[in-house]
Structure 1
Amino acid sequence: KDFESKTTVLINIPAFKHLTRKTLEKLTFYMKEIKLCKDSILFKEGDQTDGLYLIKDGEFEITKRYKRSLKEKHKTQAFPIKIKKEIRCCTLSKNEALGLDFIIGRRSYRQYYNKITEKFTEMTNIQDEFFKNRLEANLKILGVEADIMEEEVIKSNNKDK
């Protein structure tokens, strides 16, 4: 029963639709169930990547944080003033993947921050051992969604300027 429910989760994630049934079945052995409450943080910007998260139920808000120093005329004599700003990039919910930047292998640290926005969220973690050893032929398929997310971060940053 657990095996079938994990396979169903994978089939419902768009990034995995092109994988064979056999690959999906192998992937289930690397999956771990996670349950989190509202306002919980799964990982922060700068944390080392550790796998992919598939949202079974619930919602995550993805934000990008950055610091910006004020121009010379706004500095105090003692120290420069820095502004910390947070930009909401997108919201991910049921049947979406969180952490695709890890899979495509371009980044070893998280590039964004997340927070659970619903009362209760249920998800599955696919540990990094699977990706290190197997999915090389499917990285292009999985990379498409990560590129879309990266574009959203860039658009949000440009809008703010």
Structure 2
Amino acid sequence: MASLPAIKPLDGADGFLRWKETVLLHLHAAGVGHVLSEDPPPPPPGGASSSSPSAEAATRTWARDDAVCRGHILAALSDRLLPDYVRYGTGRAVWEAVARTYHLDEAALFYHRFLDFRFDDGAPLLEQLAHLHAMAVHMEDLSASGTANMARGKLPADAQIPEGAIPEGGKASMT
């Protein structure tokens, strides 16, 4: 089995996306990531005394998976953040609490990153265009032609697109 990347402890908003994806990879590799999206097994009808051995095993397995998941998430937090999240009793509750804090409004975030984007003469142009396009995909409020015109204005001088090459109101795409 391939080794998993190390998890750099989350210590604030910077790096949240990489942290989140790395933690998810670890949780799924450990076989416990399902507790973040699935509900626990229902309690047996009539109480614990009437439950079947398979239902009891499913409940114990779920409780174990949830505890392991919670432990992995808490272990991936910095010492500064751990006290803020240790009070949550389940893996899903910890995960959702961290997400509420650090998962920002993506559309607004990408819009501001798109506006602030500047081409770097030292980086490959096609890679930068792909990055600009990835941000533009999240900006649902802008039309494709509006986004393309904004991107055109950011291009370096040696890669300028002539005025009028992007149709007004059309379905121009950056692909």
TM range (shorter): under 0.3
Structure exhibiting the larger radius of gyration computed from Cα positions: 2
- TM-score w.r.t. structure 1 length? 0.24
Give 1 or 2: higher helix fraction: 2
